[in-house]
Structure formats: C-alpha cells, structure tokens
Amino acid sequence: MQLVNIATYYNFDGWLINIENEVKPYQIPLLKYFVKSLTTKMHAYIPGSQVIWYDSVLKNGDLLWQNCLNDLNRLFFLNADAIFLDYHWNEEKLLLSKLQACDRGTDVYVGVDVFGRGKCFTEGGFSTEISVKEVRKHGLSVGIFAPGWVYECLEMKDFKENQFKFWGPLQDLIPPRVIEDLPYCSSFCPGFGNKMFRNGKVIDDKPWHNMNLQQPQPVYYSSTECSLSLYSDDAFNGGGCLCLSGNIINEEKTLEFNILKTSFCLENTCLVSYTFKPLVLNVDIGLCLSMISGQGTYKLHLLDLNNKKFSGSNSSLKCLTPAPLEQLLKTGYRVDQESFEQQTWIKRTYLLNLDDFSYHSIQNISVVAYCNKPLAESVSILFGELEVLPVYPIYNLMYEDLTCKYISDDSSMIEVECVLKWRHHSSIFCSDIYVQPLNEDKKFICTTNQSFYMIKCSIKSASEITVMLCPKTAGSEKLPIASIKIPLKM
C-alpha cells in the first residue's frame, strides 16, 4: 500500500518492477501476489495507471533475461499490466512474444537500447528507427531505453539539432501523445537558454539552466517539408522557443506545421492566443484547430483581421478573427498591454464562445504559414507562445438583506440571515455553499442549482463570516471557488 501512496502523492503514472536478483522458489507465490496486488490497488487509486514487469526473474526464481515473452516469464505478465522485454531479441523472439501475448500484443514493450549494447537488432543511435519499425511490424509496443545517448555521445553544441534528428523519424511509428487537460499554456522553453526573456524582452543576459522551468514541448517533430527546431537566440518567455521553417512550394502558398495532438473538450468559453515573430518578409501565420462536433469535423482557422487567404466559411472550414480588447477585459483574462505593443513579436487572442462551440472538442493544433508573394528563401518563423485557457464564469457574488441577532439570551451564539446572489453561467450545473466563521472550520449549508439562496445559520459569536460558493459542471468538474466576507454587526 505504501507504493500506492507514493504514486498517488507524486502523481506517478505507475511502477516498473525490476527485480534483478535470484528469488527462492518458495518465494515466487509471494512475488506473484505482490505484483497482482500492486496492480489491482494502483488501478483502484489511480485510474489509468500501469504496473509493468521487467523481463528478468523467471517463474522458478532464476535470474535469466529471455528477450521475449514465453512460458518462463508469462506468469508475471498475466498478473501485471505489461512486460518490458530485454534488448537482445530477434524476429523469431518477436513472433513468439506475439503468440504468447494473444490479444495483448500492445502490452508487450520490446526493449530497444539506443546505445546498441550487446547483440541488439541494430547498432542503436540514429538506426533506432529500424528496430522500432521491426517491433511495430509485429503489433508489439516499444520501450526505448537510454535516449540520453544523444546528449552523452554526440557533440554538445549540436544537442538540439541531434535531438530532433533522433526523434523525428520515430513520430510516424509511435502515436503522438494526446494532450487532454485544460488550461494549456506553453512558450516551449526547453529549461535552458543563453538569456532569459519576458514578454519578448531580455531580463537577464546570462546563460542559465533550470529544468524546473521547462515548459510543454510539441508532440510532433519535423517532417520532410516542415522543420520544427528549438531556437535559443530569442524567445517570448523563458530561454527559447520554436523555429518553424520550410519552403512554400504548393499552389496554395501555405505550409502547415503540426504542433499538438489534443482532446480538449470545450465546456466553457475558451481564450486562445498565439505569439510569433516572422524572420522573413511577406510571411504571416494562422492557427488551425481541428474541430469535432455533433455535426462532424472541420478546420477552424484563427487569423489576422485583414487576412484574405482563408476568407469565408463552409462545412469543412471556418475562420475567426481576434477578439477586441474590450471583450478580453470582460473575461477576466489578464491583458498585459506591454505584450500587445511589442514591436517585433505579434500576439493574437481569440474567444471561442460557448454559445457557438458547445459540444465541440479540439483534436489537433497546427500552425499554417502563408505568403502573398513568391519567396526566394525558405520560410522561418519563431513561435513564441500558445495558450488555450477556459474562461471561467465571473460570479459577481454578493449579499443583501443581512440580519444578525442573538439566539435567546445566549450571547455566545448568533443567528445570521442574508440573501446570497451570483451571476448565472451556462457552465454551472449546481453549487455547494459553505459558511466559515472567523477562526473556525467551514460548514456545509446546501447544494443549489439556482443563482441565489437565502442563508440562515447559527454560529458562535464572531465579527465576520466567509461565505464560499463552489460551483460544479454537469460532469461534476469543479469550477473556481468564489468567496465573500460578510461583517457581522449586532
């Protein structure tokens, strides 16, 4: 149970169990029970978690790596979510693993050592792609071991380029990670830089390194036509940003860079912004959101107000222009006027109103570069920041008709009555109301689906109370809490 507590506290995805020593035969039933129990409890406390067994100890207790799933290690595979195989496999062992796994082929993670040590399928390094292709051909999953090879064995000065060179060819072989949670915000800072930037300005001109400041990176890498790379000579926030480059050669004069694979369900009005800087003339960009709704799928282009490239709308393509500053201020979004007045960085902000986008979800986010004139050089654009932020309702919580009186002759207790009111919002299904007297624990009052409530409660004599409104959506998702302090005067 302690392992479950640790995983819960530190937000682990699960456990990899690697026991690389011999186990006494009489202890095997206990080891089997441990694996099964841990797997069951992890599922109960952390839905979606995984317990993975490493290919080491056999069912008789011997320590002997099999490099495949077979009858000797299948006992532990059956009691865990998956198995991670050792790295010295061949095609025959892959076929056997597929056979032993039955309908659980994707639960077999075939180890691929990037260092290529021992009798690996390839020598590793940039040929890792070949090993991954072979594994995927047999319908098995891949466990890539020691990708630090890029950093440890190659030139330090070329690390960024080599990192993209290593992972780029693998993106078509491994499904991209789907980003599901909102809010999403990233300046794509890698956690290091030659300088520190804030809103496009240098605030510290010394090199720095702090991985705690790394921000989410794109889930896609470069393709044949489109190059995505880290850029550390300039940034909007942090120490670096994305550099999008390529040649526009199609008739539409556009180039599309995939950034994120998402599953953003729009349960509130959302604010979407992107910040960029063209490095060549006559180039502009738009953000393309792949949308899905009850009526089907379509592309939503977030463009400049004067853009004519994607003008008009139809069933497969719609366009949206930036929201006026007055609308943004009404949402409560912190508008940094300095950011909007940058001379080199361009920031555009849009509102996806829930009235227009209810029951919609964003499935993919890409950047579309376009030009109105032929270019003699390749397109280069710095992509500095991307935000997708739910605009939570502004409740305007207030009270009126307040009365306070002592209960009978007991001056230690008072009865408080007032009418609590707040603004209705379509995302609120119901609200819990709590009252917290000064220096005391909060007390639950009620759950209501109205936008007002008559509070009547008895409390110990105090100078003030705090009333808390805890709204929830229909799916029981908790919205931000609103509170108001009410002074009590007898």
What is the distance between the alpha carbons of residues 383 and 375, in angstroms, rounded to a whole number?
A: 20
The pLDDT of residue 481 is 85
The pLDDT of residue 358 is 86
User: CB-based burial of residue 488 (10 Å sphere; 0-12 exposed, 13-18 middle, 19+ buried)?
Assistant: middle
Strand locations in 266-357 (E): 270-278, 283-293, 296-302, 317-320, 346-352
- pLDDT 10s digits, 63-121: 999 999 999 999 999 999 999 999 999 999 999 999 999 999 999 999 999 999 989 99
φ and ψ of 76, to 5 deg: -75, -35
Per-residue burial over 99-113, b = 16 or more CB atoms within 10 Å of its CB, e = otherwise:
ebbeebbebbbbbbb
Cβ–Cβ < 8 Å for 323, 305? no
For Cα atoms 190, 192, 197, give the angle at the middle one, nearest 5 degrees.
Answer: 90
The pLDDT of residue 313 is 57
The DSSP code sequence of 218-238 is: PS----SSEEEEEE-S--SSB
The pLDDT of residue 464 is 87
CA dist 344 → 21, 368, 386 (Å): 60, 19, 17
- pLDDT 10s digits, 391-440: 877 788 999 989 988 887 767 888 899 999 998 776 677 888 999 988 88
The residue among 285, 311, 287, 283 whose CA lies nearest residue 300 is 287
The pLDDT of residue 392 is 75
The pLDDT of residue 133 is 94
- The pLDDT-based confidence of 462 (bands split at 50, 70, 90) is confident
Least confident of 23-37, 379-393, 451-465, 468-482: 468-482
What is the distance between the alpha carbons of residues 356 and 352, in angstroms, rounded to a whole number?
A: 7
User: CB-based burial of residue 485 (10 Å sphere; 0-12 exposed, 13-18 middle, 19+ buried)?
Assistant: exposed
The pLDDT of residue 330 is 75
The pLDDT of residue 375 is 62
The pLDDT of residue 461 is 81
The pLDDT of residue 346 is 92
The pLDDT of residue 376 is 55
- pLDDT 10s digits, 251-284: 667 889 999 999 999 988 889 999 999 998 888 8
Cβ–Cβ < 8 Å for 408, 456? no
The pLDDT of residue 484 is 93
What is the distance between the alpha carbons of residues 67 and 58, in angstroms, rounded to a whole number?
A: 12
> Is this structure's pTM higher than 0.75?
no
Q: Bigger pLDDT: 161 or 17?
A: 17
- pLDDT 10s digits, 212-248: 888 899 988 877 778 888 898 999 999 999 999 988 7
Q: Calculate mean pLDDT across residues 336-341.
A: 52
Q: Calculate mean pLDDT across residues 436-454.
A: 87
What is the distance between the alpha carbons of residues 217 and 304, in angstroms, rounded to a whole number?
A: 25
- pLDDT 10s digits, 279-327: 988 888 999 999 999 888 999 999 987 766 665 556 678 888 888 888 8
The pLDDT of residue 312 is 55
Of all residues in the chain, the percent with pLDDT exceeding 70 is 91
Q: Which two tokens stand for residue 372?
A: 């109105």
What is the distance between the alpha carbons of residues 225 and 248, in angstroms, rounded to a whole number?
A: 9
What is the distance between the alpha carbons of residues 84 and 69, in angstroms, rounded to a whole number?
A: 9
| Mean pLDDT of the chain, nearest integer | 88
The residue among 171, 263, 298 whose CA lies nearest residue 224 is 171
Whether pLDDT at 365 is above 90? yes
Whether pLDDT at 475 is above 60? no
Q: Which two tokens stand for residue 65?
A: 């790596």
Q: Calculate mean pLDDT across residues 374-388.
A: 83
The pLDDT of residue 423 is 84
Q: C-alpha 331: how far from its chain's center?
A: 23
Q: Which two tokens stand for residue 82?
A: 């998956």
Whether pLDDT at 478 is above 70? no
- 270 three-class SS: strand
The pLDDT of residue 426 is 65
Highest mean pLDDT among 251-260, 374-383, 452-461 belongs to 452-461
The pLDDT of residue 386 is 94
